[in-house]
Chains A and B, each alone.
Chain A
């Protein structure tokens, strides 16, 4: 049984003058100890999806359909008390900006220790020892514990967040663009930390706009476009033999240090989600678009170990 399965998830933002379906019928499962990366551009719904798993979709957003089954429980049916226990202990999350989850007025060590008091029922002295261990595990110097968040670099703050997340040994870590604001060398260090968590059995759900980063670190990649799943598959299959024209377009548009391939941008822009195009949402930008693509939403097909949502594949005999 997978650690988590998301079924037909739908998240709607109630906006003036209409509803925006930010996540529209997403299904996938995640195995224990697996690293899956969700790749998408702005408006793809990738971050909203991450927040939904933590039940943290900010208003006016609402989960309007589907199920998230984690370790046998439907997270969407849990009461607040149960949820609070699961957050942090079973499912941890790190954000793009660690300042959103650190209290700027309190020392890092106190905040970390509090976590252990809260989730493991330790007394303050034991909790402080655990906080020291946690910082050591991510190779942060001990003086970090006595610092206030603003005294640390962006990379150090993100390491603090990961140290705290790691130390409770969650079953799942969700990382939403954790390195977007960081330099490549710092990014690499953070990815190595996530990988070490994975090696100890934690499942990783990384959210990023960076397909190259996804290709380097994940077991599987899910590509989202305008709230929908475009393609999901093993990293190797997906980047070597993309099935969805959007995946292919992304691969062609990303420059690569080690290749002289011609870089071809995808024409047009991601849609304004207030007015998504009918049919396949990628059809206005798709070089392969057929008549049906602008009229009917493509089915979600399973082809070998791949999931893809594209009319081209339906023609080629993919099974819905």
Chain B
């Protein structure tokens, strides 16, 4: 297990059927449309994209919170698409999720000690007494100190940052090998975000956690990711080492996205790419390259032929007929 990837996703698709006006023709939103990537042991892999890019759907598919239309998800050497519920339940202790909104994911009437202990009891990993003890240790571990006292509190007595620590404690209590963090710090105050990211980072260091980090915030992703994939309308348009993508984006969309990120360091913005229009309706994406109607460099080929995701330098993939020239290392 140590050298192979912990997660291997192949040609994953999720089409949502939408009712058409007449009810005769079947129409689909291709929310995720042929996504492939791997996440290595102890690796943090970020999925970045705007709303409608399919990043959140991808995360949910991997945890089988929703069922894929097709494709393969191999987790720790086992295919989990189509896996029986009983076996899936055993897998779940190894794969957990942290959501954006800890308000929504915590029962408002459950004391946080019980909320953190619950996954242990549900998965049969500990009896009630042991679970409570371990929950208190875990609360201490995530910085809700003293855990013994914090365990008695209700979610509404906590700040947003503290609630997200509870969500992390709840996710980590079963000692998972892998977690999906879906916009896990997006709603937090800026002075808090970095501390939650470093808490997640500490789990990677100490227990070898692998992570799929889903976010729209590239600056935050940069803090924690080894590799990154940029999604646009259900597809990965670019993928590679985080640092390399920032210094040498090859896809015009990636470049435009990077240039739009506000920065204290680069206050005078240098815009080299001007996008046209807005993100198209995902029900009706353009033919050929899905980015072609917004791309300043698109020509007739781009409107006709969909580009494949190809490796342009070691570990750096891009789906574009005319990738930007690489920046020197």
Where the two chains meet, the residues of A that have a C-beta atom closer than 8 Å to any C-beta of B are 41-42, 153-156, 183-188, 209-213, 215-216, 235-236, 239, 249-251, 253-259, 263-267, 269-270, 272
Q: Does A216 lie within 8 Å of B267, measured CB to CB?
A: yes
The 3 closest A-B pairs by CB, nearest first: A265-B195, A212-B262, A183-B50
Nearest neighbor of B161 in chain A, beta-carbon distance: A269
Query: Can you report 22 A-B residue pairs in the complex whose CB atoms are below 8 A from each other?
Result: A42-B189, A155-B278, A156-B278, A183-B216, A184-B216, A185-B260, A185-B275, A188-B260, A209-B190, A211-B264, A212-B261, A215-B264, A249-B191, A250-B190, A253-B191, A255-B194, A255-B220, A256-B219, A257-B222, A265-B193, A265-B194, A265-B198
In whole angstroms, what is the CA distance A156 to B50 when docked? 15
Q: Which of A184, A186, A209 contacts B189 (CB 8 A)?
A: A209
Is B51's CB within 8 Å of the partner chain A? Answer: yes
Number of interface residues of B (CB under 8 A): 36
Q: Beyond A211-B190, A266-B191, A269-B192, is A257–B260 a contact (Cβ under 8 Å)?
A: no
Q: Which of B160, B257, B266 contacts A42 (CB 8 A)?
A: B160
Q: Which of B161, B263, B275 has the most CB of A within 10 A?
A: B263
Nearest neighbor of A139 in chain B, beta-carbon distance: B277
In the complex, per-residue mask of B198-234: 1 if CB is within 8 Å of any chain A CB, else 0: 1000000000000000001011101100000000000
Chain B nearest CB from A199 CB (Å) reads: 16
Q: Does A41 lie within 8 Å of B189, measured CB to CB?
A: yes
By a CB distance below 8 angstroms, the chain B residues around A212 are 219, 261-264
Q: Does A187 lie within 8 Å of B260, measured CB to CB?
A: yes
In whole angstroms, what is the CA distance A194 to B260 when docked? 15
Q: Does B266 lie within 8 Å of A258, measured CB to CB?
A: yes
Q: Beyond A255-B194, A264-B194, is A185–B256 a contact (Cβ under 8 Å)?
A: yes
Question: How many cross-chain pairs have Cβ atoms below 8 Å apart between A and B?
Answer: 112
By a CB distance below 8 angstroms, the chain A residues around B51 are 154, 183
Q: Does A270 lie within 8 Å of B189, measured CB to CB?
A: yes
Nearest neighbor of A266 in chain B, beta-carbon distance: B191
In whole angstroms, what is the CA distance A154 to B216 when docked? 15
Where the two chains meet, the residues of B that have a C-beta atom closer than 8 Å to any C-beta of A are 50-51, 159-162, 189-195, 198, 216, 218-220, 222-223, 246, 256-258, 260-267, 269, 275, 278-279
Q: Does A216 lie within 8 Å of B265, measured CB to CB?
A: no
Q: Does B261 lie within 8 Å of A269, measured CB to CB?
A: no
Q: Does B219 lie within 8 Å of A216, measured CB to CB?
A: no
Q: Beyond A216-B269, A269-B161, is A257–B189 a contact (Cβ under 8 Å)?
A: no
In whole angstroms, what is the CA distance A185 to B230 when docked? 14
In whole angstroms, what is the CA distance A42 to B189 when docked? 7
Nearest neighbor of A154 in chain B, beta-carbon distance: B51
Q: Which of A185, A254, A267 contacts B264 (CB 8 A)?
A: A254
Chain B nearest CB from A186 CB (Å) reads: 7
Q: Which of B162, B194, B256, B265 contacts A253 (CB 8 A)?
A: B194
Q: Beyond A183-B51, A235-B267, is A265–B219 a contact (Cβ under 8 Å)?
A: no
By a CB distance below 8 angstroms, the chain B residues around A272 are 159
Q: Does A185 lie within 8 Å of B257, measured CB to CB?
A: yes
In whole angstroms, what is the CA distance A257 to B223 when docked? 9
By a CB distance below 8 angstroms, the chain A residues around B275 are 185
Q: Which of A188, A254, A255 has the most CB of B within 10 A?
A: A255
Nearest neighbor of B157 in chain A, beta-carbon distance: A272
By a CB distance below 8 angstroms, the chain B residues around A267 are 195
In whole angstroms, what is the CA distance A185 to B256 when docked? 8
Nearest neighbor of A191 in chain B, beta-carbon distance: B262
Q: Does A41 lie within 8 Å of B190, measured CB to CB?
A: yes
Q: Does B262 lie within 8 Å of A215, measured CB to CB?
A: yes
In whole angstroms, what is the CA distance A102 to B117 when docked? 45
Chain B nearest CB from A140 CB (Å) reads: 10
Q: Which of B161, B194, B216, B246 has the most CB of A within 10 A?
A: B194
In whole angstroms, what is the CA distance A183 to B49 when docked? 9
In whole angstroms, what is the CA distance A291 to B17 when docked? 64
Q: Which of A213, A255, A266 contacts B222 (CB 8 A)?
A: A255
Chain A nearest CB from B87 CB (Å) reads: 38
Q: Does A184 lie within 8 Å of B260, measured CB to CB?
A: yes
Q: Does A184 lie within 8 Å of B159, measured CB to CB?
A: no
In whole angstroms, what is the CA distance A239 to B191 when docked? 15
By a CB distance below 8 angstroms, the chain B residues around A184 are 50, 216, 218, 257, 260-262
Q: Which of A41, A250, A256 contacts B265 (CB 8 A)?
A: A256
In whole angstroms, what is the CA distance A211 to B189 when docked? 11
By a CB distance below 8 angstroms, the chain B residues around A154 are 51
Nearest neighbor of B51 in chain A, beta-carbon distance: A183
In whole angstroms, what is the CA distance A267 to B192 when docked? 8
Chain A nearest CB from B263 CB (Å) reads: 5
In whole angstroms, what is the CA distance A295 to B175 when docked? 45
